[in-house]
Amino acid sequence: MTHVGVIGGGQLGRMLGLAGIPLGMRFSFLDPGDTPCAAAVGDVVTAAFDDTNAIRGFADACDVVTFEFENIPADLLLGDSSLDVFPPAAALYAAQERAREKTLFEQAGIPVAPWRAVDDQDMLDAAVADLGLPLIAKTRRLGYDGKGQSRIQTAQDAEGLLERMGGVPLLVERLVPFDREVSIIGTRNRAGQTVVYPLTQNVHVNGILHRSETAAFDGQIKRQAVRHFRALVDALDYVGTLAIEFFIKDDLLLGNEFAPRVHNSGHWTQNGAPYSQFDNHLRAICDLPLGATTHCRPAGMINLVGQSIVATELGGDNVFLHDYDKEERPGRKVGHVNVIADQQDQVTRALDALAAQIAR
Amino acid sequence: MTHVGVIGGGQLGRMLGLAGIPLGMRFSFLDPGDTPCAAAVGDVVTAAFDDTNAIRGFADACDVVTFEFENIPADLLLGDSSLDVFPPAAALYAAQERAREKTLFEQAGIPVAPWRAVDDQDMLDAAVADLGLPLIAKTRRLGYDGKGQSRIQTAQDAEGLLERMGGVPLLVERLVPFDREVSIIGTRNRAGQTVVYPLTQNVHVNGILHRSETAAFDGQIKRQAVRHFRALVDALDYVGTLAIEFFIKDDLLLGNEFAPRVHNSGHWTQNGAPYSQFDNHLRAICDLPLGATTHCRPAGMINLVGQSIVATELGGDNVFLHDYDKEERPGRKVGHVNVIADQQDQVTRALDALAAQIAR
């Protein structure tokens, strides 16, 4: 029995547990919360994410350690070679800071929108002059779900921006009028074997992922995405599931950000793929052969934000509720619904209907 | 959040929990064991299966109660109308005693092999005279996985048989030289909606289910099975998943036994169907619309008896391990492996290969 330790006890941990228990794995979750929702599928060690000693003790008690939450001190993990964590701490370290992330993309040959790191007003002014408007400014750390972002449409927007954004280091980049947002999810295991899932088209609302669906992309888009994925995971000697979000502009993929973990835009794989992104993450970190990503069906996912849906309101024909058993709060992801169908347009229509139902 | 109470904490309870947690359900298991394997997915209340007070208290604390183990006192459940258990106690009561089970089959219009209830030597001699040889004698209660069965090939075999079988009430029936064993799994919900899965062909070894696979059956075989399934669940005003095992002899289905619960021969539905038998059992008892059983793929299952298999030895291409995290013991079911494929013959070949691998 492999004892898997997961840093973080939220819904991603919960879904990792559900995927791993059939493989005979046991789970422990390190989380600062009293009753994180992953408690349904394992033990919980209550500790802060920056409690070095607690994390070391936790890791010692487990056979393998992974994380489902990115804002843990990568420095701690990097600095302690006895802490064998998958995905590698270097991936976490890069993902935690947007300038490092963009640099990594560039090193891996992944095109990105023109960008500058900005620490003061002079640097901001220079970036505006060099890159042109409009721009988007993002805090370099701790941004997620649209938090810590601000648009610079006019020169006036740039005045006092650093202060308004909390005086923290920023990254500004050209605001790309993209045609669509897509992500690629895939997994690389310890032996270097890699699998990728079909590309997903994503729609965000208020910076939070609203819905994702597999869609028909032409061959050269798919080839770009797969090439970028392989380049990134190989560069990181990555182990686990990873997601890259891209903008598509005129048939060119621009890397936006990546997540060194299972990702919301891959939740559809729970019902639309023989092996989900959670299955493959666990297989990768536990040195198992990866599950094939062939035989995926047209699929989609819609997030339940703020409030869940009553299961009785959902039909039982290719519609699948995944409730996180979390207290409902405005803006909080409390569940998602997956949809599968024979044809992509059926998925789209089913997601449209669900979106209308949720909005009521 | 629906709090589901399950009497029994074995692998069936474990797999019910895995299916229900995504629906936002919480699970408690009543079990006499220290660490039943369902503990991975819920709380455990330690009590004997005949501890009336414990079962009442357990039921009071849950929103809905079901069972995953048949040898619990149906009389207790039947005698206490405040105990609202699904499937209904009457189904459990009938399934617990083979004479009641055969009588129920006959009432529902399901053909059975000629049989007699036998309590003493005179009745046994009369049964041998009336039914002819060969016969099979089974204890009327507590038989499972081939235990409590004995063949009567010759008149000599009948002498002292009652004593050899423990002096308990028996049922003897004509030994049918059947062509194959099949089962039908389906679910009926509180509203009377019924779904059935594709028929499964089963192979037993030493009385224990060895492998099951969906197979091509001609239309009239399927129609018989579905008709018998509907007749039985309607007769019982049944709620939940139920399995009927049949023998096929010359295109006629003969009812062998039924299980008022999720069933080993339906485990393939975890990977071969959009909604598994576990999903639908929970949907039924929680008054949800049932999940469609269309879009099932050719699928099969092989049991891991005595010892599990190391996950690294399994490929990741449409082969799915379900380990129960149970201590390995000769004759004990400790897991199963599901297989799906595009074509039925690929399933058969994959199961053949797994059978050879397990036997090594």
Are A137 and A188 within one domain?
A: no
| Res. B309 pLDDT band, cuts 50 70 90 | confident
Are B214 and B262 within one domain?
A: yes
Residues 6+ apart with CB under 8 A from A17: A6, A27, A29, A38, A40, A41, A42
Nearest residue of A to residue B296 by CA position? A318
Q: Nearest CA to A232 among A274, A200, A260, A252?
A: A260
| Res. B146 pLDDT band, cuts 50 70 90 | low
- Asked if residue B91 belongs to a domain, the reply is no
- pLDDT at position A145 is 62
CA-to-CA distance for A138 and A166, rounded, in angstroms? 11
Q: Which two tokens stand for residue B305?
A: 């008896």
CATH number at residue A320: 3.30.470.20
B54-70 per-position pLDDT tens digit = 999 999 999 999 999 88
CATH number at residue A164: 3.30.1490.20
- Asked if residue B265 belongs to a domain, the reply is yes
Q: What is the mean pLDDT of residues B78-106?
A: 90
Give the residue numbers in A contacting B (CB under 8 Å), as ranges. Answer: 1, 14, 18, 21-24, 26, 40-42, 270-271, 274-275, 283, 286-292, 294-295, 308, 311-312, 314-318, 320-325, 335, 340
pTM of this prediction?
0.95
- Asked if residue A102 belongs to a domain, the reply is no
Contact A238, A188 (CB under 8 A): yes
Nearest residue of B to residue A272 by CA position? B274
Tokens 């129960």: give the residue. Answer: B324
Are B296 and B186 within one domain?
A: yes
- Asked if residue B97 belongs to a domain, the reply is no
Residue A346 one-letter amino acid: Q
Q: Is the pLDDT of residue B338 over 80?
A: yes
Computed over every residue of chain A, the mean pLDDT equals 94
CA-to-CA distance for A37 and A113, rounded, in angstroms? 37
- pLDDT at position B144 is 61
Q: Cβ separation of B24 and A321 shorter than 8 Å?
A: yes
- pLDDT at position B145 is 62
Q: How far is CA A303 from CA A203, A331, A355, A358, B2, in A?
A: 11, 11, 9, 9, 21
Distance from CA of A288 to the nearest CA of B (A): 5
- pLDDT at position B352 is 96
- Asked if residue A289 belongs to a domain, the reply is yes
Which SS3 state, helix, strand or coil, does residue B269 take?
Answer: helix
Instruction: Give contacts of B191 with chain A, Cβ < 8 Å.
Output: none
Computed over every residue of chain B, the mean pLDDT equals 94
Are B352 and B267 within one domain?
A: yes
CA-to-CA distance for B160 and B138, rounded, in angstroms? 14
- Domain tally, chain A: 3
- Asked if residue B100 belongs to a domain, the reply is no
Are A256 and A288 within one domain?
A: yes
Contact B256, B136 (CB under 8 A): no
Q: Cβ separation of A321 and B271 shorter than 8 Å?
A: no
A214-267 per-position pLDDT tens digit = 998 999 999 999 999 999 999 999 999 999 999 999 999 999 999 999 999 999
Give the residue numbers in B contacting A (CB under 8 Å), as ranges. Answer: 1, 14-15, 18, 21-24, 26, 40-42, 270-271, 274-275, 283, 286-292, 294-295, 308, 311-312, 314-318, 320-325, 335, 340
- pLDDT at position A322 is 97
Give the residue from A1, A21, A333 with the most B CB atoms within 10 Å of its CB, the best one to mutate: A21
Find the helix or strand (DSSP H, E) in which B5 lies: strand B3-7
Are B292 and B327 within one domain?
A: yes
- pLDDT at position A39 is 97
Are A247 and A313 within one domain?
A: yes
Are B351 and B223 within one domain?
A: yes
Chain pair A-B, CB pairs under 8 angstroms: 101
Task: For chain A, 360 residues long, give each residue's pLDDT as a single digit of tens.
Answer: 899 999 999 999 999 999 999 999 999 999 999 899 999 999 999 999 999 899 999 999 999 999 998 888 887 777 777 777 999 999 999 999 999 999 999 999 999 999 999 999 999 999 999 999 999 999 999 766 667 889 999 989 999 999 999 999 999 999 988 999 999 999 999 999 999 999 999 999 988 999 999 998 999 999 999 999 999 999 999 999 999 999 999 999 999 999 999 999 999 999 999 999 999 999 999 999 999 999 999 999 999 999 888 877 888 889 999 999 999 999 999 999 999 999 999 999 999 999 999 887
Query: Which of residues B152, B174, B196 is at a domain's end?
Result: B174
Find the helix or strand (DSSP H, E) in which A278 lies: helix A277-285
Nearest to A41 among B40, B318, B340 (CB): B40
Nearest residue of A to residue B25 by CA position? A325
Domain that residue B267 falls in: 180-359
Q: Cβ separation of A323 and B14 shorter than 8 Å?
A: no
Q: Cβ separation of B22 and A291 shorter than 8 Å?
A: no
- pLDDT at position A131 is 96
- pLDDT at position A309 is 87
Are B38 and B162 within one domain?
A: no
Which SS3 state, helix, strand or coil, does residue B123 take?
Answer: helix
Give the residue from B280, B317, B334, B340 with the most A CB atoms within 10 Å of its CB, the best one to mutate: B317
A192-211 per-position pLDDT tens digit = 999 999 999 999 998 899 99
Instruction: Give contacts of B290 with chain A, Cβ < 8 Å.
Output: 316
Residue B318 one-letter amino acid: N
Q: Cβ separation of A274 and B318 shorter than 8 Å?
A: yes
DSSP one-letter string for B150-196: EEE-SHHHHTTHHHHTTT--EEEEE----SEEEEEEEEE-TT--EEE
Nearest to B289 among A23, A40, A315 (CB): A315
Query: Which of residues A126, A156, A174 is at a domain's end?
Result: A174
- Asked if residue B43 belongs to a domain, the reply is yes
Q: Is the pLDDT of residue B75 over 90?
A: no
Find the helix or strand (DSSP H, E) in which A123 lies: helix A121-131
Are A188 and A62 within one domain?
A: no
Query: Which of residues B127, B144, B174 is at a domain's end?
Result: B174
- pLDDT at position B218 is 92
DSSP one-letter string for B272-298: HSSS-HHHHHHHHHTT-PPPP--SPPS
B274-302 per-position pLDDT tens digit = 999 999 999 999 999 999 999 999 999 99
Q: Is the pLDDT of residue B78 over 90?
A: no
Are A201 and A303 within one domain?
A: yes
- Asked if residue B170 belongs to a domain, the reply is yes
Query: Taking the CB of residue B196, how many other CB atoms lie within 10 A of it?
Result: 18
B242-253: buried (b, 16+ CB within 10 Å) or exposed (e) per residue?
bbbbbbbeeeeb
Are A168 and A200 within one domain?
A: no
Lowest mean pLDDT among A294-298, A343-347, B74-78, B250-254: B74-78
CATH number at residue B15: 3.40.50.20
